[in-house]
Amino acid sequence: MPEGRLPARPPVETALAFDFGLRRIGVASGDTLTGTAGPRPAVRVTAAGPDWAAIEREVRALQPHLFVVGAPYNANGSPGSLATAASAFAAELERRFGLPVHRVDERFSSLQANERLKAQRASGERRRRIRREDIDSAAAVVILERWLAGEADGG
């Protein structure tokens, strides 16, 4: 390397993560610079499907470079009951926004998210009661943290 030149740093990438569900989709954002993730408002799902307008608002606001979608598996590693629907959601994200979609094993992410929120409430860090949509978006945080830590799933 020539004197005075610093090695090229990888670009900072902003990611938008989703914890897919049939009633709500948890949402989180984060980036590869800080390696941290934070919750965003959950998106409602109706009989017509996800609230794509709400997702589009998040995409416009955050300008992510990529998406991360939880891949639902059962405890034994077999595909979960939502695996097909979550895969269809991931494919539709890619189709609509033209950004790469990474999949991460989401096993126990909702349980982990619920425990984190309960601990925050017990410590006084969180004053508001825990709602289902809070757990959904906290689960998306867990999924994004797993991706940021290098976990990935080919699915």
At 127 the pLDDT is 77
At 124 the pLDDT is 78
Q: Which of these CATH numbers, 3.30.70.20, 3.40.980.10, 3.40.50.1450, 3.30.420.140, describes 14-148?
A: 3.30.420.140
The string of pLDDT tens digits covering residues 116-155 is 888 877 777 777 787 888 889 999 999 999 999 987 664 4
pLDDT above 90 covers a percentage of the chain that reads: 59
Q: What is the mean predicted confidence (pLDDT) over 57-66?
A: 96
CA torsion 96→20→34→53, rounded to 10°?
40
Can you say whether residue 124 is alpha, beta or left, with left for phi > 0 and alpha for psi between -120 and 50 degrees? left
Every domain of the chain and the residues it spans: 14-148
Counts of helices then strands in the chain (DSSP H, E): 4, 6
Return the higher-pLDDT residue of 152 and 77.
77
pLDDT, averaged across the chain: 88
pTM, to two decimals: 0.86
